[in-house]
Amino acid sequence: MSQDAEIICEVRGAAGIVLLNRPKALNALSLGMVRELARALDAWENDPVVTRVVVTSASEKAFSAGGDIKALHDLGRAGQYDEMLSFWREEYILNARIKAYSKPYISLIDGIVMGGGVGISLHGSHRIAGDRYLFAMPEVGIGFFPDVGATFALPRLPGAGGIYLALTGDRVGAPDALALGLATHAVPSAQMAELADALTGRGALDDILAGFTHDPGPQKLAGERATIAECFGGASLATILQRLKAAAEGGSAFAGKLLQTLATKSPTSIAIAFEQMRRGAGLDFAEAMRTEFRIVSRIARGHDFYEGVRAVVIDKDHAPRWEPATMEALDPAAISAYFAPLGADELVLEA
């Protein structure tokens, strides 16, 4: 395969190696990349030579910073909704494929991992965090929602940590990721290349990883865990906001900052994300992905996604005009409508 391809998939020793090779775009996922990874996984699953899949990045800055949001925005603006949704349809099918994959699937994450990058790493068996690891699902800031399987994964994180990440879009490094279960191992950045090479051998996976793992250091959120659990464990969005306000008034600078952060996000997106987390705790992975496709099918024809991408990515004025503009103006029935079945357009996953 050409070295200038966006993604390079090849067998090296015992491993199927995937190189995300779009560094100038921080490895933002294109439809071509989704399709090539899906093709490789199909080829490797029944190949006796391949005992594991290892996903790496050609960028020192990012594993993958998400999907190609600008391209999707442009398709929607042009009214090409079918083409726009075909990306998410195939991406979500790939996320489910990774979740169910029968061989170890190891992501070496040493940089930013957001959005679509989370979808091709978090659901695999092993997530190795380097020193530069930085996880976020910041979609509520662009009028979108935490997708790519976040509906399943985030509600299952301890101490309401996933709900906190979904609603605030906060970033966490390797120590917190390890504590939350977003990462399974931490390895020094300086040893990542050596680890990638070792993984092509036929030694036992756990033994190889044990030889590289280290303590990544103190957690940024260690002192805020109780506040996160108490506030984001609320049974409704209104309760979460009330608890954050009470914590801020009680002297928590952390809670006060979170209230300011939430005030800048799309109210519709925050409400969708909360409802996702509430429902997602009781869904299996396939139903979580079907739920996400229902949501994205409505968002594609809405307002806030286009306004958010305009404000953050295109004009970069960071002054989005959300509709509605406040949480108080939200219509609960309008939020529920995002989750309604799609009939003939439902996402179909392999059995």
Over residues 257-310, the pLDDT tens digits come to 999 999 999 999 999 999 999 999 999 999 999 999 999 999 999 999 999 999
Exactly one of 139, 170, 304, 307 is catalytic; name it: 139
The answer, yes or no, to whether residue 351 has pLDDT greater than 80, is: no
The answer, yes or no, to whether residue 185 has pLDDT greater than 70, is: yes
Q: Thinking of the domain 7-345, which architecture would CATH place it in?
A: Alpha-Beta Complex (3.90)
| 170 has catalytic annotation | no
The answer, yes or no, to whether residue 212 has pLDDT greater than 60, is: yes
Q: Report the chain's mean pLDDT, rounded to a whole number.
A: 97
CA-closest candidate to residue 267, choices 331, 318, 207: 331
Sheet containing 15-20, strands listed edge to edge, beginning at the edge strand earlier in sequence: 7-12, 15-20, 52-57, 105-109, 126-129, 185-186
pLDDT band at 4 (very low <50, low <70, confident <90, very high): confident
Exactly one of 66, 76, 116, 169 is catalytic; name it: 116
Q: 3-class DSSP state for residue 108?
A: strand
| 116 has catalytic annotation | yes
Q: 3-class DSSP state for residue 183?
A: coil
The answer, yes or no, to whether residue 3 has pLDDT greater than 70, is: no
| 343 has catalytic annotation | no
Kindly report the pTM of this predicted structure.
0.96
| 147 has catalytic annotation | yes
Exactly one of 67, 76, 117, 302 is catalytic; name it: 67
pLDDT band at 6 (very low <50, low <70, confident <90, very high): very high
Contacts of 117 (CB under 8 A, 6+ apart): 27, 29, 62, 63, 64, 65, 66
Exactly one of 6, 36, 68, 147 is catalytic; name it: 147
**Every domain of the chain and the residues it spans:** 7-345
Pinpoint the alpha helices (H) of 281-344. 285-299, 304-309, 332-337
pLDDT, residue 92, reads 98
**Angle, CA 263 vertex, CA 257 and CA 267 arms, to 5°:** 140
CB neighbourhood size of 220 (10 A): 13
CA-closest candidate to residue 268, choices 317, 345, 339: 339
Kindly report, residue by residue over 46-95, the tens digit of the pLDDT: 999 999 999 999 999 999 999 889 999 999 999 999 999 999 999 999 99
